Structure 1
Amino acid sequence: MQVSVETTSQIERRVTVQVPAEEVDQAVAARLKDTAKNIRLNGFRQGRVPMEVVRQRYGRDVRNEVVGELMRERYVQAITQESLNPAGYPEIEPTVNESGKDLEFVATLEIYPEIQVNGIEGAEIERPVVDVTDADVEEMIETLRKQNASWEAVDRPAEQGDQVTIDFQGFLGSEPFEGGQAENHDLVLGSGNFIPGFEDQLVGEKPGEETEIKVTFPEDYQAEQLAGQEATFKVKVHKVSAQKLADLDEEFIQRFGVENGDQEAFRAEVKKNMQREAKQAVDNRVKQQALEALKNANDVAVPQALVQQEVDGLKRQAAQQFGLGEDFDVSQLPDELFTEQGKSRVQVGLLLAELIKANEMDASDDEIKAKVEELAQQYQEPQQVIDYYLSNDQLKSQVKSAILEEKAVDALLAQATVKDVEMSYQEALQAAQQQAEGDEEDAEANVEDDAKA
């Protein structure tokens, strides 16, 4: 077997392989002989069909089958011989495929780039410093009470925050429009679930009253026939309900895992959870800044095969996020919506892998166990989670990867200028969320539009 390698780009190789004709022809002859043992043809007993007839009828298909297998086998041998590290599957094309001639084929493939990681010296990274205050805890408890609130009917005009039960029908001019009506619909005033201006005009309405509401649909409204249109809604108010917060009693507290129902123990548990959430938000924000600086400091050629793998994964995530169903064909979502994000993920992944390798980073069993125990604390039955993770090699591998990523980020932070910035609990969560979302919002909006189209 003869092999030659042509460098066509920084990460693309064109591998030409020649296999001696004698080897190919012998393999074809052997396969034809095996085929002859099993075929049935009229006028011949099984296994007694003349070889010339077998070759005439099955020769082309058998040769194609044998050549396909040989090309795959010799491709693997060739990249091993030439120490090539492929990133994805190759394109293999036979260039000479005739009986009596050496088989020649060309495999075009992408390889993992050779990377020399540049540091991020000089990069400035903001690290939020967050103190979860007693006021933050009380606000969180109030939020939990609202999430578990009930509604009680009241005999007074509706106020912001009330829930109204209404019938409505929408009109463009004097004509009702499709999808613009409902009966006994519950709407919380101030929730922003309806067209801007609709909910505000229901403030002050009483149970049993009928009213007309005039609104203008946004220019970017998803239903094109309504976008920018003025509409009138005829509304009947059946009921006005005020929100009744859940009582901070033993039953309520026990729902959150504090079995003794003690309020102080509950507040301590809420604060601990908020501190853990704040730490995660801070760590994520700092990590994203460090990885962005790493990417900016290193121009890495990215194999398209790896980008496509990320794109396919992002499509599946988007389909799940928007509830498109398991049967939804994700190929309907255009690749370009996810290409930049996929490319960015591959760049960061390659750089981190090289950084970890160059610094010989590793995670011990004790470190993995400690990390699992830390993760398990957010569950009601931590020991069950610990046992489950530590008995599953795949999950342990994921935890190990997370630890190595943390070590790599710590190494980057040691190179950068880190500035502590005081933030409130809410500011830290919002900042981390914005940092994580980045440029994803436009892509998500496009996905949602495509899914509804």
Structure 2
Amino acid sequence: MQVTETLNEGLKRGYDIVITAAELDEKVNAKLVEAQPEIEMKGFRKGKVPMPLLKKQFGQRLMGEAMQETIDGAMNKHFEDSGDRPALQPEIKMTNEDWKEGDDINVAMSYEALPEVPEVDMSAIAVEKLVVKADDASVDEALASLAETAQDFDAKDGEAEDKDQVVIDFLGKVDGEAFDGGAAEDYPLVLGSGSFIPGFEEQLIGTKAGDEKNVEVKFPEEYGAENLAGKDAVFEVKVKEVKGPKAAEINDELATKFGAEDLDALKGQIRERLEAEYAGASRQVMKRAMLDKLDELVSFDLPPSLVTAEADQIAHQLWHEENPEVEGHDHDKIEPTEEHTKLAERRVRLGLLLAELGQKAEVEVTEAEMTQAIMNQARQYPGQERAFFDFVRENAQMQQQLRAPIFEDKVIDHIAESAEVTEKEVSKDDLQKAVEALDDE
């Protein structure tokens, strides 16, 4: 095998690879020798068919397989010898299209190599960690909101209003056929809770006990069950009762409903939960500051293909956010702006850096962490959790989408262990402003 470099410009690489006819013939012969003991042919005992006859009978059939394996082997050996890591799948093209048996194989290979990522002195990174303590007013506010969720409902006459509870039987159909998970009896649904498909609850406002109504909705394009995603559905609904909300009293009895011993214990739990939420928000602020510091510390060439792909994705996503009425993706290509490209460069640079730091630190995402991430996503699709699990298990891209942020957060934790992190106590409002500032950047 001969390898000749044809391009070495920045991260772009090009090579001509010549695989001799002798190498290819050797590969075919090896395959025939491996298969010979199991081959039977009229006039010969099993395993005793002469090699020339085998080659005449099966050589052509094995040639394509041998060519592909030889080219793959040549490519892998090149990366092993050169130490290059391709940013994307290399482009492979056979250049002697008039090839015939007995000729050498000429292959052109091109790719963009991943850059060498420089070492980072993580001790040179200094960031603030905002700390917020939950005050009594915040606890009381959260307690009042919790009491709303524990509210009771009393039967009422008249039409159902927003915040009322309706007890319903329903049967969902797509194209006239009922589907799994689309039916229930005596289901208590609070109107305005957002627990059903968008558009479902609004259509029940104004109904009364005894009413029957066909509710027409469309499943979201990103719905977890692939057989329902983007489909129009009709739910046959029977309203059995309409109930109005009744405020729950804030006392020890309310506390026991939430598993606490008494009201003071419940307040303690709320305080802990609030401070955990504040800590999560504070972490996002610190993470952005840390990424900004990393971005200032490192500079290296970026694979153009990765930057282009990321810029296209950013432009496409932002366009859909600005045009929410367009649900499909059959629109014209959205051309990225200079601002999109600049953001893409930052994301690619930091992505490569974090991947390198994570690899060196042997950071891994555990099965338990992946399962938890899938469960968190599945909660968005009540009644279809199992279908969502199956969808993720069969979709490598979705798995990567869930794994990537977990990996990134674990690398950030690793960096924080070496960085200079200073705690600063601030108010809830100051933390809120810092979080809002993240969206403005």
Report the TM-score, using the length of structure 1 for normalisation: 0.53
Deviation for aligned residue 1:253: 3.6
Asked if 1:242 is matched to 2:248, the reply is no
Deviation for aligned residue 1:143: 1.8
What is the match of residue 269 of structure 2? 269
| SS of structure 1 residue aligned to 2:153 | strand
Question: 2:164·2:242 contact (CA, 8 Å) conserved in 1?
Answer: no
| SS of structure 1 residue aligned to 2:85 | coil
Q: Which amino acid aligns with 1:406?
A: D
What is the match of residue 133 of structure 1? 135
The 1:412–1:34 alpha-carbon spacing in structure 2 relative to 1, beyond 3 Å, is: closer
What is the match of residue 114 of structure 1? 116
What is the match of residue 383 of structure 2? none
Deviations along 1:108-150, one digit per CA (max 9) or x if unpaired, are 333212345899xxx9999766342211111112222222222
Q: Provide the rounded CA distance (Å) in 1 between the counterparts of 2:30 and 2:164.
A: 83
Deviation for aligned residue 1:76: 2.0
Q: Which amino acid aligns with 1:301?
A: L
Deviations along 1:300-319, one digit per CA (max 9) or x if unpaired, are 5247579989x99xxxxxxx
Percentage of matched positions with identical amino acids: 24
The 1:71–1:162 alpha-carbon spacing in structure 2 relative to 1, beyond 3 Å, is: closer
Q: Provide the rounded CA distance (Å) in 2 between the counterparts of 1:271 and 1:402.
A: 25
| SS of structure 2 residue aligned to 1:114 | coil
Question: 2:147·2:254 contact (CA, 8 Å) conserved in 1?
Answer: no
| SS of structure 2 residue aligned to 1:424 | helix
Report the TM-score, using the length of structure 2 for normalisation: 0.54
Listed as ranges, the matches of 1:260-339 within 5 Å are 261-291=261-291, 294=294, 301-302=302-303, 304=305
Deviation for aligned residue 1:274: 1.0
What is the match of residue 24 of structure 2? 24
5+ long unaligned stretches in structure 2: 169-185, 212-220, 222-238, 314-327, 364-368, 373-404
Q: Provide the rounded CA distance (Å) in 2 between the counterparts of 1:349 and 1:141.
A: 41
The 1:277–1:77 alpha-carbon spacing in structure 2 relative to 1, beyond 3 Å, is: same
Question: 2:132·2:425 contact (CA, 8 Å) conserved in 1?
Answer: no
5+ long unaligned stretches in structure 1: 167-183, 211-221, 223-235, 313-331, 365-371, 376-397, 440-453
Deviations along 1:215-256, one digit per CA (max 9) or x if unpaired, are xxxxxxx9xxxxxxxxxxxxx997451333265335744734
The 1:162–1:128 alpha-carbon spacing in structure 2 relative to 1, beyond 3 Å, is: farther
Question: 2:11·2:301 contact (CA, 8 Å) conserved in 1?
Answer: no
Q: Pick from 407, 417, 424: which aligns with 2:429?
A: 424
Question: 2:255·2:263 contact (CA, 8 Å) conserved in 1?
Answer: no
Listed as ranges, the matches of 1:203-242 within 5 Å are 239=242, 241-242=244-245
Asked if 1:68 is matched to 2:68, the reply is yes
Deviations along 1:160-181, one digit per CA (max 9) or x if unpaired, are 7555789xxxxxxxxxxxxxxx
Question: 1:118·1:298 contact (CA, 8 Å) conserved in 2?
Answer: no
Deviations along 1:303-337, one digit per CA (max 9) or x if unpaired, are 7579989x99xxxxxxxxxxxxxxxxxxx978989
Q: Provide the rounded CA distance (Å) in 1 between the counterparts of 2:408 and 2:73.
A: 33
Q: Provide the rounded CA distance (Å) in 2 between the counterparts of 1:190 and 1:89.
A: 48
Q: Provide the rounded CA distance (Å) in 2 between the counterparts of 1:41 and 1:35.
A: 13
Question: 1:89·1:109 contact (CA, 8 Å) conserved in 2?
Answer: yes
The 1:238–1:25 alpha-carbon spacing in structure 2 relative to 1, beyond 3 Å, is: closer
What is the match of residue 152 of structure 1? 154
What is the match of residue 12 of structure 2? 12
| SS of structure 1 residue aligned to 2:65 | helix
Q: Which amino acid aligns with 1:152?
A: D
Q: Which amino acid aligns with 1:153?
A: A
Question: 2:91·2:111 contact (CA, 8 Å) conserved in 1?
Answer: yes
What is the match of residue 318 of structure 2? none
The 1:125–1:37 alpha-carbon spacing in structure 2 relative to 1, beyond 3 Å, is: closer
What is the match of residue 59 of structure 2? 59
Q: Provide the rounded CA distance (Å) in 1 between the counterparts of 2:18 and 2:156.
A: 87
Q: Which amino acid aligns with 1:146?
A: E
Q: Provide the rounded CA distance (Å) in 1 between the counterparts of 2:71 and 2:161.
A: 75
Q: Provide the rounded CA distance (Å) in 1 between the counterparts of 2:152 and 2:346.
A: 45
Asked if 1:86 is matched to 2:86, the reply is yes
The 1:413–1:124 alpha-carbon spacing in structure 2 relative to 1, beyond 3 Å, is: closer
Question: 2:87·2:114 contact (CA, 8 Å) conserved in 1?
Answer: yes
Deviations along 1:154-204, one digit per CA (max 9) or x if unpaired, are 5699887555789xxxxxxxxxxxxxxxxx998867769998xx89x97xx
Q: Provide the rounded CA distance (Å) in 2 between the counterparts of 1:158 and 1:35.
A: 75
What is the match of residue 405 of structure 1? 412
What is the match of residue 386 of structure 1? none
Q: Provide the rounded CA distance (Å) in 2 between the counterparts of 1:348 and 1:302.
A: 13
| SS of structure 2 residue aligned to 1:86 | coil
Deviation for aligned residue 1:37: 4.6
| SS of structure 2 residue aligned to 1:15 | strand
Q: Which amino acid aligns with 2:302?
A: A
Listed as ranges, the matches of 1:360-439 within 5 Å are 402-408=409-415, 422-424=427-429, 428=432, 432=435, 435=438
Q: Which amino acid aligns with 1:285?
A: V
The 1:156–1:39 alpha-carbon spacing in structure 2 relative to 1, beyond 3 Å, is: closer
The 1:83–1:187 alpha-carbon spacing in structure 2 relative to 1, beyond 3 Å, is: closer
| SS of structure 1 residue aligned to 2:4 | strand
Deviation for aligned residue 1:282: 1.3
What is the match of residue 382 of structure 2? none
The 1:126–1:35 alpha-carbon spacing in structure 2 relative to 1, beyond 3 Å, is: closer
Deviation for aligned residue 1:264: 2.0
